[in-house]
Structure 1
Amino acid sequence: MNDEKRFELYEKLYFHEVEAREKISSRLQIPLALLLSITSVYALLVKGVSFENGSFWNLCFGGVFLISLGFFITSLSYFVRSFYGHTYEFIPSALTTENYRNQLIETYSAYSECDELVKRHFNDYLFRYYNECSSANTAVNDKRSEFLHKCNTYLILTALPLATAFLIFTLSGIDKNTIEKEYKVQISKPIELNSHKSPLKINGNFDVTTLEVDFSADLKELLNERKAKTFNATATADTTTKENP
């Protein structure tokens, strides 16, 4: 292979690795969407599960949930490593390259073979950058592709126990929405107790576990009447006893 073909080869390799960089970035969008979706499922399960009973299904749910969470964290770490922390090498800008070419012309302007020398050294300049940059970018893209592959692998492993945990959550009755609840009723307005003989009205409110009652005048009067009747009956009985010893 002559120098011209080698130059074309390294040039193609350089642009191939630059294009692969963009493809890998596009491929990262799919696992990102899956990671966000799985995070939403985790939030739903954690918010809805009830561990009050401590039943066998609670233990099963907690076990598969933790396994899935471990795989999820591993997948997330590989995603971050594939997405961030990589440096690519690029050939100098067009202005820098053109300035170097002008320097070559000034350097070899006194030689009779100026054009040939400028062309040869300029090609060597480009060849060196294509070679070094493509080699460095190949190593970076290979590493990113490996991390992305492991990220997808652990995403699949995450989904299996997560699906099991979701089935346990749905069918075993550990969902908070399916458990019978005790409701606390707070009475904040006056309550009325009606009797067919003598209507009574009680004004009061509940404070924690204590009922504070504000007796109305009708109720007080009724209680006083009952006390008076009881006192009269007791006095009558005592008088009868004295008259008939």
Structure 2
Amino acid sequence: MEVKELLVVFEKMYLQENEIKEKITIRVQIVFTLILAVITVSSYMLRMLDLDRYVFVGATIIASLVIFFASLGVSLNYAIRAFWGNTFKQMPPALEVKGYCSALVSYNEEVEKAIQEGDGDGGSVQAVDVRSEVDTYLSNAYEECATHNSEVNQERSRKVHEAFKLLLCSFVPLGVAGVLFVGFDMDVSSPRKNYQVIDKYVGDQIGKVERGIAIIADHAEKSKGVKMSDKDKSNTDSAKQPTSTPAPIKTSGPTKPDAPRVRIVLEDDRSQSFEVNDEWRQK
């Protein structure tokens, strides 16, 4: 095959390996999402597990979750290794390729100049075909990058496969724990259970209030007793004192009361006022 044909083939292989790299990265992200989801479920079961209801069932659930976490840890290790720490080879920047072409052109000019001046052996130093050299260089670069990236992608794909396999295997103990957790109603917060919720802070505050009410009631009883004793004492003293009869009021003969005077105020056109009394009536 000619260099141009190899260049086209290696370029396609290079681009294909880059696409495979992105697909593997997406698969690893899916593994991370599933691991996070099952960790959330298992954490809830551990946190809300009722160990006082069925001890044997609770121990079985804990043992299943331990096996689950062990498998999940190995799966997570494979997933991290597939996602992180892998090196890939990329083609050099376009500016460097352009600089290489310019260097080849400059090299041909120097070779021609040296041949014209007769310096050195003209047979050992010859001009090169710039197009052919560049195609050969690009073909070799694509081949190197595609080969290296293919090996890295194969290793990453194997790690993702192992991560998925261990993740699926970890679902077995998790499923056993979930069936026991739901079947035997091992959730401590289940509404079907009759349990008491004790708030220590509220209980302490209620106790303080009750003690305060008791103290106030005790003081009220003591104050009531003191008042009753003072009242009995005052009643006893009043009973001992002799009662004095009021002095008779001396009354004279009956007298006729005076009738109140009538005051009438009249106004004429000149706004003058005069008073009319009982003497006017008598007249």
Q: Under a length normalisation based on structure 1, what TM-score does the superposition of the two structures give?
A: 0.73
Cα shift readout 1:53-107 (whole Å, capped 9, x = no counterpart): 6611012111111111111111111110111001110111000000000000110
Q: Which residue of 1 aligns with 2:176?
A: 164
Cα shift readout 1:114-159 (whole Å, capped 9, x = no counterpart): 5x62122212211221111111111111111111111111111122
Q: Write the mapping of 1:33-44 to structure 2, written as runs, cut at 5 A.
A: 33-44=33-44
Q: Which residue of 1 aligns with 2:255?
A: none
Contact 2:3–2:139 at 8 Å: present in 1 too?
Answer: no
Q: Tell whether 2:223 aligns with 1:215.
A: no
Which shows bigger deviation, 96-105 or 68-77?
Answer: 68-77
Contact 2:46–2:62 at 8 Å: present in 1 too?
Answer: no
Secondary structure of residue in 2 paired with 1:92? coil
Q: Which residue of 1 aligns with 2:133?
A: 121
**CA distance 1:71–1:16, shift in 2 (3 Å):** same
Q: Which has the larger radius of gyration?
A: 2
Among the aligned pairs, what percent are the same residue?
A: 25
Q: Which residue of 2 aligns with 1:79?
A: 79
**Structure 2 CA distance for aligned equivalents of residues 183 and 33 of structure 1:** 35
Q: Write the mapping of 1:91-110 to structure 2, written as runs, cut at 5 A.
A: 91-109=91-109, 110=111
Contact 2:3–2:136 at 8 Å: present in 1 too?
Answer: no
| RMSD, aligned CA | 2.8
**CA distance 1:132–1:190, shift in 2 (3 Å):** closer
Q: Tell whether 2:151 aligns with 1:139.
A: yes
**Structure 2 CA distance for aligned equivalents of residues 54 and 172 of structure 1:** 8
TM-fit CA distance, 1:215: 2.3
Contact 1:203–1:216 at 8 Å: present in 2 too?
Answer: no
Secondary structure of residue in 1 paired with 2:23? helix
Q: Write the mapping of 1:225-244 to structure 2, written as runs, cut at 5 A.
A: none
Q: Under a length normalisation based on structure 2, what TM-score does the superposition of the two structures give?
A: 0.64
**Structure 1 CA distance for aligned equivalents of residues 34 and 55 of structure 2:** 31
What one-letter code is carried by the residue in structure 1 that aligns with 2:169? L
Q: Which residue of 1 aligns with 2:58?
A: 58
Highest relative contact order (Cα 8 Å, sep 6+), 1 or 2? 2
Which consecutive residues of structure 2, in runs of 5 or more, have no partner in the other structure? Answer: 116-125, 226-283
Which consecutive residues of structure 1, in runs of 5 or more, have no partner in the other structure? Answer: 192-201, 205-211, 223-245
What one-letter code is carried by the residue in structure 2 that aligns with 1:175? D
Q: Tell whether 2:223 aligns with 1:203.
A: no
**Structure 2 CA distance for aligned equivalents of residues 174 and 219 of structure 1:** 55
TM-fit CA distance, 1:48: 0.5
Structure having the larger proportion of residues in strand? 1
Cα shift readout 1:148-188 (whole Å, capped 9, x = no counterpart): 11111111112222122112112213221245434558334
